[in-house]
Amino acid sequence: MADATTKFLLHEDDIPTHWVNLTPDLPGAPLPHALHPGTKEPAGPDDLTPIFPMGLIMQEVSPEPEIEIPEEVRDAYKLWRPTPLHRARRLEQALDTPARIYYKYEGVSPAGSHKPNTAVPQAYENAKAGMKKLVTETGAGQWGSSLAFACSLFGLECEVFMVGSSYDQKPYRRSMIQTWGATVHRSPSELTEAGKSQASHPTGSLASRSRRRSRSRRRIRTPTTRSGRCSTTCCCTSRSSARRRSRRWRWQATNPNVVIACVGGGSNFAGLAFPFARRVLRGEAKTRFVAAEPAACPTLTRGVYRYDFGDTVGLTPLMPMYTLGHDFVPPPMHAGGLRYHGDAPLVCALVKAGVVEARAYRQNETFEAAVKFSRTEGIIPAPEAAHAIRAAIQEADEAKEAGDERVILFNLSGHGHFDLAAYDAYLAGTLEDPEFSEQDMEDALARLPEAPAIA
Amino acid sequence: MADATTKFLLHEDDIPTHWVNLTPDLPGAPLPHALHPGTKEPAGPDDLTPIFPMGLIMQEVSPEPEIEIPEEVRDAYKLWRPTPLHRARRLEQALDTPARIYYKYEGVSPAGSHKPNTAVPQAYENAKAGMKKLVTETGAGQWGSSLAFACSLFGLECEVFMVGSSYDQKPYRRSMIQTWGATVHRSPSELTEAGKSQASHPTGSLASRSRRRSRSRRRIRTPTTRSGRCSTTCCCTSRSSARRRSRRWRWQATNPNVVIACVGGGSNFAGLAFPFARRVLRGEAKTRFVAAEPAACPTLTRGVYRYDFGDTVGLTPLMPMYTLGHDFVPPPMHAGGLRYHGDAPLVCALVKAGVVEARAYRQNETFEAAVKFSRTEGIIPAPEAAHAIRAAIQEADEAKEAGDERVILFNLSGHGHFDLAAYDAYLAGTLEDPEFSEQDMEDALARLPEAPAIA
């Protein structure tokens, strides 16, 4: 990272040809298998065929450290990648820090976040397998809009079930989904069994989380007759998508002291961190890693490491992860993408091994960081990304205290164009600042499903 | 423009060092002077000192073909520039055209459009001249948010008067302005004399247009005591900003057959077209130019070429331009940035000379083009930019008809993240499709102010 440069832009030929799979490099015992939700025996590739197309299964179970990105996916990536890497010089000056702060900006994608990086290959593999339509779930709309965009590229129909409160309060994400040709339903709906069972929930949060984690994997083969069906399950949450978002640039030769990203399910963190983490696991570097999460949904900092379902209604395989209980409903907060009860097994394994440090931040302090960032670097960040900014500023302040010139790299995972009402609330001093209480923790522990101990 | 490449990204060292000033290259007689609104004599630099800082005046009256961009401005540009140039391969395929379509995407700027390109130097020159605060007007909020962003970079206070209807209906642009630290008022307001005189107008459109064109040039020297004042006038509309947005990339060596941009006041069009236009004016190329405007506000296609005020209330110098009358109020439409009654004198001179062809499009056909673009290229465009897309598709269709491989280059001037309600209306089939009637034209001619003939 040459000192004189502010913004790094690569040529499209530099879009990576492979995804990083960290599985073979994990320390200690191999990553525990997911368990079949009925038998509680290890789930194998056969258990996945009703859910995934073969292309995704092969990625899911691969022991290879690198997985080739299909040419068609790389072609689609060219619509917005390579994304820029910025030196945050104006933020550094405002903080009066000797640290050097870099951020990778994912908000330039059509959907405005990192999520198309995994939505595009998921749509591609389904189209290649002959699927005609994908059905998915979305919370605040980031994932639903990303999948709608991805489906539009491969001629797939797309149907999105959107959390009721977001459907009502965030009409613009709904509009994006429709502009890309997909249909949207308010969730829970009367169109699915899962929806009917959740219909009494006022916001739809419960159903939302379950469907959201399943993402595009619940698909149907005869869309004209079963277009409302949304019942199959998912597996391994963002483990595979984590693999799909890595090795982004040539600056791996550089050596940041600390790499920071926010964590909801883990794919955003993994996309930035895994190529660097592999170097650490192989003894080639000493980079630290910080996973920034909300204090109101502190899965990595306060959750327990054990088997739990990936979805709220308990239909998915059991996965080894830090969890607050699969039916945990976080309080309302604006970083909708960070409201997941667990985390990707690969990310959890890195926390468990002490490779990644998790930190939880309160909502108001993340918005304070976001406004400081907006007024120095220009970009108005998504509330999710604001957690990473908060951690980066903490590191920069510590660098000032210690008088060191540490190099900080964080992922600015998306823009905040659809979150401006939250900025209004912060600036007006009326933003809620929810936390996770001892009672919440006790409740979470009481709700955990029976499952074998992690070996 | 190498055939294999989809997206062109330059290094920040490629941000231009100079702006293009087309004045010395104009064909025929020199561009007519602006006239003092009282004496109707040519307005000189002295008439501008109450309005502009000297740095901007020197650009405004310069006879030089290139004007150096201050180092501080280039540094600020690095926050988002160089902006990407895309080959629209998926759109070409969808249109089944032999044409090659390229677009420059300005939506990656923090404010989401091309406008920071001129907001930043205007803020810089004012800060350099010792100003502490800028006061401006905005329609839908694009300009107000761009100036708020620019002021945040140079430590200037900023106060924005926003058209009442937008203030009520587009709260997100208002939120952006506040996030960057500026204050916003609903316009017309009781805070200014101009506002009081317009208070009976239901939407505030009249006051809005006058203030909007004056942009940051109305500034005050003692903000603490006069922070509500908004009374001085502007000059030459976007003429100087037109100069400030050009010579963007090295691909000038390439030779597009047609260059297309939407036109509101002219700065977006000028930014893309002027470097190419200079080559045409010097006999070095044969590029065609298309200025795309809304059929409901057809200044270039149906306006008359004569002197008129730049603002609605008649406070600015009289400028030579195509105009529909300075107090013309276009019908409601979603391309808020294209609702100006006139156009920049330099752009008008090029239309008058036959160098630029103007075309007017109806609102629904521009949204049809925008949706087609979203579903192929991903990005959801601003309604203003949709006019350029519509023209580009027309050119591509003509290329198919003629069987030629023409190279089409257009400016995608911004994203549509704050315009999604208009997409909803289009998709629901309820979008209005206003036009400009013969009666509108008669009314416009009757309203024109007395002024000398253009020499």
Instruction: Write out pLDDT tens, residues B302-357.
Output: 999 999 998 887 878 899 999 999 889 888 889 988 988 999 999 999 999 999 99
**DSSP per-residue letters across A346-383:** HHHHHHHTTSEEEEEE-HHHHHHHHHHHHHHH---B-H
Cβ of B12 within 8 Å of Cβ of A9? The answer is: yes
Q: Rounding to the nearest 10 degrees, give the CA dihedral for residues A135, A141, A143, A145.
A: 80
Residue B186 Cα, gap to closest chain A Cα (Å): 16
Pick the CATH number of A27-45+58-67+115-227 from 3.10.450.50, 3.40.50.1100, 3.90.230.10, 3.40.225.10: 3.40.50.1100
Least confident of A115-119, B190-194, B258-262, B415-419: B190-194
- CA torsion angle A360 A361 A366 A372 (round to 10): -90
Which residue ranges does chain A devote to CATH 3.40.50.1100?
7-16+69-112+235-446, 27-45+58-67+115-227
Rounded to whole angstroms, how far apart are CA atoms B137 and B166? 12
Of B5-19, B232-246, B412-426, B436-450, give the lowest mean pLDDT range. Answer: B232-246
Q: Which of B3, B80, B376 to mutate to test the interface with A (most CBs of A within 10 A)?
A: B80
HSE on the CB side for B69, CA within 13 Å? 25
CB contacts < 8 A (A, B):
119
A172 contacts in B (CB within 8 Å)? 417, 420-421
Tell me the pLDDT tens digit for each residue of B88-103: 999 999 999 999 999 9
Q: How many CB atoms lie within 10 A of CB B4?
A: 7
Within its chain, how far is the Cα of A332 from the centroid? 18
Out of B86, B179, B375, the one facing A371 most closely (by C-beta) is: B179
**pLDDT for the residue numbered B324:** 95
Phi, psi for B5 (deg, rounded to 5) = -100, 145
Query: Are B305 and B362 in contact, with CB atoms under 8 Å apart?
Result: no
On the question of pLDDT at B164 being above 60, the answer is yes
- Name the DSSP class of B189: -
User: How far, rounded to the nearest angstrom, does the alpha carbon of residue A340 sit from its chain's CA centroid?
Assistant: 9
Chain A nearest C-alpha distance from B86 (Å): 8
Look at the alpha carbons of B376, B377, B380, B382 in this order and tell me if their dihedral is positive or negative. negative
Whether B177 shows a pLDDT value over 50: the answer reads yes
pLDDT at B208: 36
Whether B379 contacts chain A with CB within 8 A: yes
Per cent of chain B over pLDDT 70 is 85
State yes or no: pLDDT of B230 exceeds 80: no
In B39-145 the beta strands, taken as DSSP E runs, fall at 66-68, 85-87, 100-105, 133-138
CB B376 within 8 A of CB B88: yes
Q: How many CB atoms lie within 10 A of CB B397?
A: 14
What six digits make up the tokens of A349? Answer: 């394994």
**Which residue is closest to A13 within chain B, CA to CA?**
B5
Chain B positions in Cβ-Cβ contact with residue A109 (cut-off 8 Å):
378
Partner residue opposite A377 with nearest CB, options B6, B79, B378: B79
* pLDDT tier, B169 (very low <50, low <70, confident <90, very high otherwise): confident
Closest Cα of chain A to B114: distance in Å? 14
Interface probe, candidates A1, A108, A177, A179, chain B, greatest B C-beta count within 10 A:
A179
- For residue A373 the two structure tokens come to 């960032």
In terms of Cβ atoms closer than 10 Å to its own Cβ (0-12, 13-18, 19+), residue B58 is middle
Q: How far is CA B76 from CA A160, A339, B63, B120, B133, in A?
A: 40, 35, 26, 7, 19
Q: Confidence class of residue B144 from pLDDT cuts 50, 70 and 90?
A: very high
Average pLDDT over residues B217-244: 27
Is residue B239 scored above 50 in pLDDT? no
Alpha carbon distance B367, B425 (integer Å):
10
Average pLDDT rounded to a whole number, residues B54-75: 88
**Range B195-222 average pLDDT:** 40
How near does any CA of chain B get to the CA of A377, in Å?
A: 7
Distance from CA of A87 to the nearest CA of B (A): 9
Is-contact B299 B341, C-beta < 8 A? yes
Identify from B375, B418, B419, B430 which residue to disrupt to test chain A contact, counting A C-beta atoms within 10 A and taking the largest count: B375
Which residues in chain A have their CB less than 8 angstroms from residue B110's CB? 374, 377-380
Q: Which of residues 192-251 of B touch A (CB under 8 A)?
A: none
* Nearest partner of A107 among B9, B375, B108, B175, judged by Cα: B108
Task: Quote the tokens at residue B394.
Answer: 């027309």
Looking at residue B154, its pLDDT comes to 96
- Interface touch B179/A110, C-beta < 8 Å: no
Q: What is the reported pLDDT for B127? A: 95
Coil vs helix vs strand at A265:
coil
pLDDT at B254: 67
Asked if A181 has any chain B CB less than 8 Å from its own CB, the reply is yes
Candidates A354, A359, A382; CA nearest to A292 is A359
Q: Which of B384, B418, B380, B382 is nearest to B175 (CA)?
A: B418
Is B417's Cβ below 8 Å from some Cβ in A? yes
Tell me how far apart the alpha carbons of residues A314 and A37 are, in angstroms, rounded to a whole number: 8
Count of positions (residues) in chain B: 455
A chain contacts of residue B9, beta-carbon cutoff 8 Å: 9-12, 82
Three-state SS at A230: coil
Closest chain B C-alpha to A88 CA, distance in angstroms: 9
pLDDT of residue B224: 20
Q: Which distant-in-sequence residues (6+ apart) come within 8 Å of A366 by Cβ? A: A294, A335, A383, A386, A387, A389, A390
Beta strands in A206-331, from DSSP E residues, in sequence order: 258-262, 288-294, 304-309, 318-323
What's residue B413's pLDDT? 97
What is the reported pLDDT for B5?
66
Nearest to B371 among A80, A179, A379 (CB): A179
pLDDT of residue B210: 33
In angstroms, rounded to a whole number, what is the distance separating the alpha carbons of residues B238 and B268?
9
CA distance A5 to A97: 18
| Residues with pLDDT less than 50, chain A | 1-3, 200-253
Chain A touched by B101 (CB under 8 Å): no
Query: In terms of Cα–Cα distance, which of A391, A332, A392 is closest to A360?
Result: A391
Chain B residues closer than 8 Å to A180 by CB: 374-375
Nearest chain A Cα distance for residue B204, angstroms: 23
Cα A381–Cα A250–Cα B412 angle in degrees, nearest 5:
50
Crossing angle between the packed helical segments A267-281 and A116-128, to the nearest 10 degrees? 100
Nearest-by-Cβ selection for B80 from A179, A378, A418:
A378
What pLDDT does residue B61 have? 81
d(CA A84, CA A415): 14
- Using left for φ > 0, alpha for ψ between -120 and 50, and beta otherwise, residue A228 falls in alpha
Tokens of A329: 């409903």
Q: B173: nearest CA in chain A?
A: A420
At the topology level of CATH, where does B7-16+69-112+235-446 sit?
Rossmann fold (3.40.50)
Confidence at residue B198, expressed as pLDDT on a 0 to 100 scale: 59
Nearest to A86, CA basis, from A66, A102, A74: A102
Helix (H) or strand (E) holding A40: none
